Amino acid sequence: MSDPEPVLRVVSLVPSLTEAIASADRSALVGVTDWCTHPADLDTVRVRGTKNPDTKAIIALRPDVVITNKEENRELDVRRLREAGVTVWVSVIETVPQAIDAMEELFDEVLRWDRPAWLATARSLWCGSPAAERARVAVPIWRDPWMVVGRDTFTGDLLARAGLPHVFAGHTDRYPSLDVAAIDGAGADVVLLPDEPYVFTSNDGPEAFVRTPTELVSGRLITWYGPSLVEAHAFLQTLRPGHRPQASSDSTSTS
What pLDDT, on the 0 to 100 scale, is given for residue 10? 98
What pLDDT, on the 0 to 100 scale, is given for residue 31? 98
H/E element holding 12?
Answer: strand 10-12
Rounded Cα–Cα distance for residues 157 and 21 (Å): 23
Could you report the average pLDDT of every consecutive run of 10 residues in the chain (255 residues)? 84 98 97 96 97 98 98 97 98 96 98 98 96 95 97 96 96 97 97 96 97 96 96 89 48 44
Rounded Cα–Cα distance for residues 233 and 25 (Å): 24
What pLDDT, on the 0 to 100 scale, is given for residue 255? 53
What pLDDT, on the 0 to 100 scale, is given for residue 239? 79
State CA 36 to chain mean position distance: 11
Domains of the chain as residue ranges with CATH: 10-126 (3.40.50.1980), 137-237 (3.40.50.1980)
What pLDDT, on the 0 to 100 scale, is given for residue 2? 62
Q: How many CB atoms lie within 10 A of CB 234?
A: 12
Burial class (CB in 10 A: 0-12, 13-18, 19+), 62: exposed
In contact, 87 and 65? CB cutoff 8 Å: yes
- pLDDT tens profile 95-145: 999 999 999 999 999 999 999 999 999 999 999 999 999 999 999 999 999
What pLDDT, on the 0 to 100 scale, is given for residue 242? 55
State CA 47 to chain mean position distance: 19
Cα dist from 36 to 15, 76, 91, 175, whole Å: 4, 21, 17, 23
